[in-house]
């Protein structure tokens, strides 16, 4: 169901929040660069995966939302998607 999907996404975001807190602690404690960068990479990967889950779970909703909008907002959505997949 939609609620179950939403809860899974929220759980992922809470885990990412924990990872970011861990990253803040690494920076505060002056951890080695390699540790900070490794953790940054893990957070970035988790964010990308979560966005992918959101897109897959909500593809029909996303597309129908956009289809009903004026062309300018369709272009905004396309631009956001292009930024997300690093094509802009």
* Each residue's pLDDT tens digit, 21-79: 999 999 999 999 999 999 999 999 999 999 888 888 888 888 888 888 888 888 888 88
pLDDT at 6 over 80: yes
Residue 43 · residue 63 · CB < 8 Å:
no
pLDDT at 1 over 80: no
pLDDT-based confidence at 5, cuts 50/70/90? Answer: confident
pLDDT at residue number 12? 96
pLDDT at residue number 29? 98
Please choose, from the candidates 35, 47, 36, the residue with its C-alpha nearest in 3D space to the C-alpha of residue 85: 47
């Amino acid at each position: 169901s939609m609620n179950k999907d939403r809860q899974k996404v929220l759980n992922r975001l809470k885990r990412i929040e924990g990872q970011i807190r861990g990253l803040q602690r690494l920076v505060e404690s002056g951890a080695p660069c390699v540790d900070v960068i490794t953790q940054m990479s893990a957070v970035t990967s988790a964010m990308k995966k979560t966005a992918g889950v959101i897109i897959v779970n909500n593809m029909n909703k996303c597309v129908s939302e956009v289809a009903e909008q004026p062309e300018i907002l369709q272009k905004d959505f396309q631009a956001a998607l292009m930024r997300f997949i690093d094509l802009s």
